[in-house]
A and B are shown apart, each in its own frame.
Chain A
Amino acid sequence: EPEVTQTPSHQVTQMGQEVILRCVPISNHLYFYWYRQILGQKVEFLVSFYNNEISEKSEIFDDQFSVERPDGSNFTLKIRSTKLEDSAMYFCASSGGRTLGEQYFGPGTRLTVT
């Protein structure tokens, strides 16, 4: 069964460093998302992406964040200058041909900023 994959599973970085989290969405999906979950808190929406542009973003998704679909299969989240409070589990998700369809989530990347 097709699934969303994410790499790495765990990333440790120092404050101020740039990180890139990678995702491979389900191959025929058109809509892509990033969410994050700080330990013990709710899953929070960051950004959605369709047709090579951001379609929606939350107030969390400020100038330090960016997303890209560099080729036909990968979807990346870049955090330019990490802060301690960026430590969280980051989930990628994708959905099919209809914008408001079922979202399928990847296993997540645990980001630890020291």
Chain B
Amino acid sequence: KQEVTQIPAALSVPEGENLVLNCSFTDSAIYNLQWFRQDPGKGLTSLLLIQSSQREQTSGRLNASLDKSSGRSTLYIAASQPGDSATYLCAARTGTASKLTFGTGTRLQVTL
């Protein structure tokens, strides 16, 4: 059974800083991994999808990496802004299953 963990649970950084969010998964037979942003009381916004055959995926200031052998993915956010403040979730799709297994998220606060 796939389990997804995100550390830290919360993170506060000053504006302009580069930061890395971590996601670990127990079953390396993932098909893809998706990173989401969730604002309080809101839905999930897909940020990046990284396929199992890929090592990295980039979108603007965001870069996601995937290392299946170590069971880890990271989300790198460059030059953080107060508007980046939100909870970031990673979710893994494993094998041929269609469901996503979510982590508990990292709550990010970017301060002025």
Contacts and interface: CB of A to CB of B under 8 A. Distances in A.
Interface of A: 31, 33, 35, 41-45, 48, 50, 55-56, 58, 91, 93, 99-108, 110
A43 B99 contact: no
Interface of B: 31-32, 34, 36, 41-46, 49, 89, 91, 93, 96-105
12 contacts: A42-B102, A43-B44, A43-B91, A43-B102, A45-B100, A55-B98, A56-B97, A100-B31, A100-B93, A100-B96, A102-B34, A105-B46
Contacts of A45: 99-101
Contacts of A102: 32, 34, 46, 49
Q: Summarize B's interface: helix, strand, loop or mixed.
A: strand
Contacts of B96: 100
Contacts of A50: 98
Nearest to B91: A43
A108 B42 contact: yes
Contact of A91 (B31, B44, B101): B44
